[in-house]
């Protein structure tokens, strides 16, 4: 049994002075959401053995803030991989297969649509998962999901089915972190 946690970077600023998407930093709301998600993960989820993360600024800021908020539950084995920046589901599977090693659980911090597609590609669309239906509508910034795979080795992740055992959005923890409502 393998467990994969998927943390989408928190809300980022729309523009970056450098002009590069890779350099976008978190907004104030994003920083609050990353901290809330880190506290949630630290309290509610067994520690992860390894972290795989996009090196993009917003992903790294999300991860650093979340790790601080996790406290002792924070994993120490951390790998940044450029292939996770705006990766497809297939690319994410490839990175996990190559870098998962002997870890039983991995926290992956990256971007959409790749993370959403990982859930949709691995969790059967048979009407039995209400959480999958939510992901199919939207996997918002800062969202955290846990997939369980009945595999012995990460190299088998490609094409494997999974159970979506939890989905937490920032607004589930703190309603002020939900979508802006026009007035």
> Could you tell me which residues are annotated as the binding site for substrate?
58
Which residues fall in the annotated binding site? 58
Residue 151: exposure state from Cβ atoms within 10 A (0-12, 13-18, ≥19): middle
């Amino acid at each position: 049994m393998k467990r994969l946690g998927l943390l989408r970077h928190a809300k980022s600023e729309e523009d970056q002075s450098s002009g590069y998407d890779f350099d976008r930093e978190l907004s104030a709301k994003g920083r609050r959401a990353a901290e809330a998600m880190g506290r949630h993960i630290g309290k509610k989820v067994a520690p992860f053995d390894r972290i795989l993360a996009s090196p993009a600024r917003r992903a790294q800021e999300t991860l650093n803030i979340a790790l601080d908020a996790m406290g002792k539950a924070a994993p120490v084995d951390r790998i940044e991989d450029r292939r996770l920046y705006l990766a497809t589901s297939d690319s994410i599977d490839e990175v996990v297969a190559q870098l998962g090693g002997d870890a039983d659980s991995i926290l992956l911090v990256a971007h959409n649509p790749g993370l959403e597609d990982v859930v949709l590609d691995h969790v059967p669309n048979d009407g039995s998962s209400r959480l999958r239906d939510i992901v199919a509508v939207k996997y918002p910034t800062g969202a955290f999901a846990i997939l369980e795979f009945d595999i012995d080795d990460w190299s088998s992740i490609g094409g494997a089915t999974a159970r979506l055992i939890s989905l937490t959005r920032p607004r589930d923890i703190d309603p002020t972190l939900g979508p802006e409502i026009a007035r």
